[in-house]
Chains A and B, each alone.
Chain A
Amino acid sequence: MDAASIHQRLAAQFGERITAFQAEALQPWAVVAPEVIAEVAAFCKSDPDLGFDNLMCLSAVDYPKETPPRLELVYHLWSYAHTHGFVLKVHLPRESPSVRTVENVWGVANWHEREAYDLFGITFTGHSDLRRILLPDDWIGYPLRKDWVDPDFYNGLHVKPTPQMAERSMAGEKLGVGPFDHTPPNRHVED
């Protein structure tokens, strides 16, 4: 099936809740209302004509400058049976974004959703094991958001030295915190 007929099939089933369709894109996509994404995903997999048995990729993207500002979840679907693909998107608010999980439909979504939670702070309701996956458990904040600022300290260690600090430390001065307390072991000493 081509993208237009896939969209028609989805629109016939879900009507208003398929809120937009972009046909001119390189890979056409449809925007789905967040509250029905689990149903749409289940339908995509179970419908014999669509047959999307494979979730190729699940990505999150941050758009703080759009009006309204939003986080976007992008589901790249693929059907091994019909060898066609389609893209679903879900728009979420940047403040406390939450959406239902699709891990019961495609098992691989489990880890992809954990990654989106870890790096973007999107919570997936009904997820079996929503923990940070790539970053340490005690990490604060969501680094792939566009407004992310690197922290100065991590667990009491000064992790963002300024060039001046590095210079002073190399000159032997004790700066009081973190790794710069120690003289680098392999430091070349002139005298």
Chain B
Amino acid sequence: MSSGFGWRVDDLDTDEMILNMGPQHPSTHGVLRLELRTDGEVVRAARPHIGYLHRCFEKHAENVDYPGVIPYTDRMDYVASMGNSLGYALAVEKLLGIEVSPYVGAIRVIMAELQRIASHCVAVGTYGMDIGAFTPFLHLLRDREKILDLFEWTCGARLLYNYNWVGGVSHDLPEGFVKACRAFLREYDAITIPELMDLLIGNKIFVKRTAGVGVLPVPLAISYDLTGPNLRGSGLARDLRKDAPYCGYERYQFDVPVGTGQFGPKGSCFDRNWVRSIEMAECSKIIHQALDFLEKTEKTDVHEKVPKRVKPAKGEVYARSEAPRGQLGYYIVADGTGVNPYRVKVKSPCFTAMSVFHVLSRGMYIADIIALIGSLDVVLGEIDR
């Protein structure tokens, strides 16, 4: 068959082709390079290449003192900095045997949950954008902006806060914060959540595009240590805020949403994203209760338990917390002589989520690869550290 342009369709090469996606591809959520071996539209094998954003966090951590590590932790998952520093602070406090007051605990919970909403706003919003829906992104970023305003009011920073200190937080909540936060949440509950459900989650095109793609069975998820919304999307209700509560999470009533497979097999891209959306509503419930608790409880100085000099005895600890993207673990070794940590290792939830990618992507269409990366909700800053 002649095409009329001097070549014949029969002459076309039908071999497999290596396709490099990224590192500057916008839907790789940062600087991720995917090496795809493609057979037409189908991906036969995929190899993620990471490390473009490696900033030697673990080496830095060995060269500054314990509180000095906190600004570096903020820079790992820059979309959810509060969660990172909270995990680190909890780990060092465990090493030192410090327990913060319920008042400080409640502040931390409020901040962590606001951050979770903001982080999921970005995750769900950009996911919609990857798939082709631009509007939800704008609506969600509008609400994230309001949360960042609250953060800025509290500690002066909008993205990298250095807020959770070892033994406390850097600033007490400003006067009027509770009222402003409630006002934000009322608007958020009444407008943003229904809007999100209408615009994106219930959208027929979105459902068809994501349900049935990238199915992750529970045993595979556990073997590859996927946690947080990725694990819950597969239907296993494991959440550290329920299973091993910290900062007084046991006081608050909330549900742990799990993927139900309502539009296809359980554990699909849709389920992971759906869990995040429902979690956004649950966060609001927790913050309401934490604000109530904050008003009732006795106010303490937020620097009350902050040690003058952090110098733990020889020992080591592995502490986990439920960051927006899953379980964030810090393995800290103290040698008991210096004021610097001897070793800090971070188990980042995005790192483990990315490590299962080559298994999930096998046999997918190239277009679905985009849907898969977005649904795993990886932040490259945290993968590369």
Measured between C-beta atoms, what is the minimum distance from B54 to chain A in Å?
5
* Nearest 5 interchain pairs by C-beta: A59-B345, A108-B225, A111-B355, A57-B347, A134-B51
Which residues of A, 41-74, contact B by the 8 Å Cβ criterion? 53-57, 59-62, 74
> Do B50 and A134 touch (CB < 8 A)?
yes
Q: Which of A134-163 contact B (CB under 8 A)?
A: 134-136, 143-144
| B359 lies within 8 A of A107 (CB) | yes
**Complex contact B54–A76 (CB within 8 A):** no
Which size bracket describes the interface of B in this complex?
Answer: 35 or more
Q: List 22 A-B contacts (CB under 8 A).
A: A26-B315, A26-B317, A54-B222, A54-B223, A55-B225, A56-B225, A56-B318, A57-B345, A57-B347, A59-B345, A61-B342, A61-B345, A74-B331, A76-B329, A76-B331, A106-B223, A107-B224, A108-B223, A111-B354, A134-B54, A135-B51, A143-B59
Answer whether A80 and B236 are a contact pair too, CB < 8 Å, given A107-B220, A133-B51, A136-B51.
Answer: yes
- Roughly how many angstroms separate A143 CA and B352 CA in the complex, as a whole number? 22
Q: Which of A54, A57, A61 contacts B318 (CB 8 A)?
A: A57
Contact with A along B333-363 (1 / 0, CB 8 A): 1000000001101010001101110010000
Task: Please state if A134 and B384 are interface contacts (CB–CB under 8 Å).
Answer: yes
Report if B44 contacts A (CB, 8 A). Answer: no
- Contact between chains at A133 and B50 (CB < 8 Å): yes
Partner of A61, one of B50, B222, B333, B356: B333
Q: CB < 8 Å: which of B59, B220, B355, B356 contacts A144?
A: B59
Whether a CB of chain B sits under 8 angstroms from the CB of A119 is yes
The answer to whether A135 and B54 have CB atoms under 8 Å apart is: yes
Tell me the bound Cα distance from A87 to B316 in angstroms.
Answer: 11
B residues within 8 Å of A by Cβ? 50-51, 54, 56, 58-59, 94-95, 219-220, 222-225, 236, 238, 243, 315-318, 320, 327, 329, 331, 333, 342-343, 345, 347, 351-352, 354-356, 359, 384-385
Contact of B317 among A27, A62, A133, A135 (CB under 8 A): A27
Report the separation of the CA atoms of residues A106 and B354 in the bound assembly, to the nearest whole angstrom.
Answer: 15
A124 CB to closest chain B CB, in angstroms? 15
CA distance in complex: A108, B327 (Å): 14
| B355 in complex: contacting residue of A56, A108, A135, CB < 8 Å | A108
Known: A26-B95, A106-B225, A144-B58. 17 other contacts (CB 8 A): A27-B318, A53-B222, A53-B223, A54-B223, A57-B331, A57-B347, A59-B345, A62-B343, A74-B331, A80-B236, A106-B223, A107-B355, A107-B356, A108-B223, A132-B51, A134-B51, A134-B54
